[in-house]
Amino acid sequence: MGEEVKPMGLFESADTNPVSDVGKRSTAKKVVAKSRTAKNSKGKVIVSGKNDIKNSKLTYDKEFKKLFTKREFLSPILKNIVPEYNEYSLEQIEGFITPRGDETINPEAYSSEDTGKGSETTTHYDVLVDCALPGDENVRVGLFFDFEMQRSNTPGYSIPKRGVYYCCRLISRQISVLGDESYDKLRPVYSVWVLVKDIPDELRYSTYSVDLTGSFSDKNLDSSESAAHLSRDINLIHLRLIYLSQDLKIEDGQSNLVKYLQSVFTDRVLDADCNPYHEHSKKIKEEVSAMLSAARAIEVSAREEGRVRGIVETLLKFGKTDTEIVQFVMEDGNNTLDEDAVIEIIEECMRELK
């Protein structure tokens, strides 16, 4: 098929120019405040400022959580990740997903915020749910499922190592609640990371699987019942790294999981050519569109802020006063930032120059 579609703003970023070294200046002084619904010289409505960006991010976070914690969104992912779910329908898998676990087994173990032990840093999981395993009627909590959206594959640290660390934290937090002698109650953890930006060509549209396994090094026992029993006991840690690409190109031969996720990020969940679960995805169409709309709003605001920041830095370099910079930006026919936002950008640039 080989169709390429433009991402809906979720993984774009606004680049800004470096601040020029022009020495110290006084803090920007506010000039006459304009209405947030004023118009620039070309009649474009000025509605975007720092608060708008903040509000857009809050809206996106809300829509992100709303979609990514929805059973109907998670079920296709679980079907392709958890072997025990492979033969079950998406509707049946939805029934295995629980909003929280049985408090008599793992109380307080399901918060997306993990404070850790002692001096450990707090870990925030994007989405953390617990799920039952098929046929496990006595124990409601069958596994923990952690779903992480990581925009860049190269954030300055190893994503695989961070993923392993998250798995270990999810194991550790169970013991901290259950007690030191409750090892038999430990449940498997799955940590799934979706990576989109800065992906090497050979890794694009692939899934890398990490599972805790073992083998005998000095006896030929790997096919024995003893080995099978040991394998069941250590079957606790599962890490999945799903490599997409910033262009979200749709091609034949991609896995169902890759196609499904790309259909979400391109707002094409109802397209049968893109999404193998398009009929099921009717249940999440509204949430997908809302999340991507919020993401686009952030991108538009961020790009405009970055553009204006570049103008401010250039004008500072040429010794323009704060009032002159504000006037220049506000008279720019392409500007959509309000005056307060422009002044804040000037102040930020001034602080960076000190």
pLDDT of 275-330, one tens digit each? Answer: 999 999 999 999 999 998 888 877 777 788 888 889 998 888 888 888 999 999 88
Residue 14 exposed, middle or buried by CB count within 10 Å (0-12, 13-18, 19+): middle
Give the tens place of pLDDT for each residue, 197-217.
899 999 999 999 999 999 999
Strand pairing category for 143-152 and 123-124: unpaired
Residue type, 140: R
Is 116's pLDDT higher than 80?
no
- DSSP letter (8 states) at residue 249: E
Report the alpha-carbon angle 18-21-26, nearest 5: 110
Is 78's pLDDT higher than 90?
yes
Res 103: pLDDT: 38
Given a contact cutoff of 8 angstroms between Cβ atoms, the answer to whether 222 and 174 are in contact is: no
- Cα-flanking dihedrals φ and ψ of residue 295, to 5°? -65, -40
Query: Rounded mean pLDDT of 102-126?
Result: 57
Question: What band does 164 get if pLDDT is binned at 50, 70 and 90?
Answer: very high
Given a contact cutoff of 8 angstroms between Cβ atoms, the answer to whether 220 and 270 are in contact is: no
Provide the residue ranges of all domains of the chain, joining segments of one domain with +.
3-50+297-353, 71-247
Going along 58-135, which residue ranges are E strands?
97-98, 113-114, 123-124, 127-131
Q: Whole-prediction pTM value?
A: 0.71
For residue 121 the two structure tokens come to 């840093």
Res 16: pLDDT: 36
Given a contact cutoff of 8 angstroms between Cβ atoms, the answer to whether 268 and 5 are in contact is: yes
Q: Token pair 């031969």 is at which residue?
A: 253
3 state SS for the chain: CCEECCCCCCCCCCCCCCCCCCCCCCCCCCCCCCCCCCECCCCCECCECHHHHHHHHHHHHHHHHHHHCCHHHHHHHHHHHCHHHCCCCHHHHHHHEECCCCCCCCCCCCCCEECCCCCCCCEECCEEEEECCCCCCCCCCCEEEEEEEEEECCCCCCHHHHHHHHHHHHHHHHHHHHCCCCHHHCCCEEEEEEEEECCCHHHCCEEEEEECCCCCCCCCCCCCHHHHHHHHHHCCEEEEEEECCCCCEECCCCCHHHHHHHHHHCCCCCCCCCCCCCCHHHHCHHHHHHHHHHHHHHHHHHHHHHHHHHHHHHHHHCCCCHHHHHHHHHCCCCCCECHHHHHHHHHHHHHHHC
Greater pLDDT, 277 or 345? 277
- Cα-flanking dihedrals φ and ψ of residue 276, to 5°? -65, -15
Compute the distance between CA of residue 196 and CA of residue 262 in angstroms, rounded to an integer: 10
Q: Name the range with the highest mean pLDDT among 173-182, 219-228, 338-347.
A: 219-228
Greater pLDDT, 50 or 26? 50
- For residues 108-132, one letter each, b for 16 or more C-beta atoms within 10 angstroms of the residue's C-beta and e for the rest, the string is ebbeeebeeeeeeeebebbbbbbbb
Taking the CA atoms of 287, 289, 293 and 296 in sequence, report the sign of the dihedral they define. Answer: positive
Compute the distance between CA of residue 190 and CA of residue 185 in angstroms, rounded to an integer: 16
